[in-house]
Structure 1
């Protein structure tokens, strides 16, 4: 349990479109299911939003579909080459591409158009202000563009409560509001903490109450300080 407590977020669970918390993103989520089925009239989409909004979650969920290729910012040049059998290309953190990979991404976009395949890219900013070369920035705005809106606090609490119930985990009423005020606020980090609370509760044979959460957060803070 020590390792889990001290390395919160180190283990990334498999992502899927079905586990994405939709919130105010219903239209975008519907479109992504169309992309998963290669049924969208539009063949290109650019997603943008703050860190933790769920951009990588969506791209990795799409990557689980057959004929898809997930391309992180640090991918090899070969990843940007259009290939037989790949019908959906997913370029993450496009703002972090090197100048060379930006050229590759621009070329891949053109190949996707030529072959009639699909492409979804993601970044933190709308296309007009992306810090990339002009031709690539222009291409990001040619297709559909969606901002991914973060969940409200009430939506996050509802989603985490549902996830806890699915685990058979009972939370005291003060746990989740306190967690939102004293921990990272993106759903990936919050879900990871929920897993840690579940394991820590089992290890210590204590219910998931505010004192248990404080103990867990304290251990994490101590570990962070020891590494600095």
Structure 2
């Protein structure tokens, strides 16, 4: 287990802040990079729809900060909420505490109390607390009003979805990272015919990468892509 992660949660090394396409979220990305580099005492709440990039930002923040020698705890509550909130004990000592998908513990009194205690301890030590959820802190169905109040103490950001140009950049950047050639007209075809959520597009690129590897090719031509996809295309 990574000594900087007190929980058995692995960060995917391929996820970085540098890979995040900011679109209209440039101010938030700049702030997260400053936290990774050593800024202390920040409390942030990031809201956004599913697959909007919240987990990417939190995991990328922790990965980048760890490379710079900072201690981090990444807490994906979608996975952790069936466990005891006692696992939060001692996390206030981490430089950065990133709590992902807070909506999964809403209305759970034990978890809400655990997060409330962790928040107070970490805030008193000027640690960085970054939360995410599918909606803003004032709209979460929390049973503990004081927790909702705490989550609103710092900056609250709502992620803006990527526009067409941002999605084009995402496809081409990620294809290049995998050593693949994806021409703009082919990327345009994918955006026209496929589910445009960033998560789906990245899963699709992974599928195409595996197929290209099997055929020992790098150029993702339109005929090749069409031959790889089942009907209806791209899910």
Q: What's the TM-score once normalised by structure 1's chain length? A: 0.80
Give the corresponding residue for 2:60: 61
Alpha-carbon displacement from aligned partner over 1:68-123 (angstroms, at most 9, x marks no partner): 10112142423322347412111110011133212211111111122221110000
Does 2:224 align with 1:212?
yes
Give the corresponding residue for 2:8: none
Give the corresponding residue for 1:194: 205
1: CA distance between counterparts of 2:216 and 2:76?
A: 41
Give the corresponding residue for 1:34: 34
Higher relative contact order (CA 8 A, sep 6+): 1
Alpha-carbon displacement from aligned partner over 1:125-182 (angstroms, at most 9, x marks no partner): 1222112222222222111111111111111112322332344423354432232244
SS in 2 for 1:161: helix
Q: Residues 18, 171 of structure 1: CA spacing in aligned structure 2 closer, same or farther, 3 A cutoff?
A: closer
Give the corresponding residue for 1:140: 151
CA RMSD of aligned residues (A): 2.6
Does 2:163 align with 1:155?
no
Q: How many residues align?
A: 211
Structure 1 stretch displaced more, 104-113 or 57-66: 57-66
Q: Residues 83, 159 of structure 1: CA spacing in aligned structure 2 closer, same or farther, 3 A cutoff?
A: closer
Contact 2:42–2:126 (CA<8 Å) still a contact in 1?
yes
Q: Which runs of 5 or more residues in structure 1 are unaligned?
A: 1-11
Contact 1:82–1:111 (CA<8 Å) still a contact in 2?
no
SS in 1 for 2:229: helix
- Which of 138, 141, 147 in structure 2 is aligned with 1:131? 141
Contact 2:21–2:170 (CA<8 Å) still a contact in 1?
yes
Contact 1:71–1:80 (CA<8 Å) still a contact in 2?
no
Contact 1:47–1:147 (CA<8 Å) still a contact in 2?
yes
2: CA distance between counterparts of 1:53 and 1:83?
A: 27
Q: What's the TM-score once normalised by structure 2's chain length? A: 0.78
1: CA distance between counterparts of 2:177 and 2:16?
A: 17
Give the corresponding residue for 2:48: 49
2: CA distance between counterparts of 1:107 and 1:84?
A: 9
Q: Residues 161, 106 of structure 1: CA spacing in aligned structure 2 closer, same or farther, 3 A cutoff?
A: same
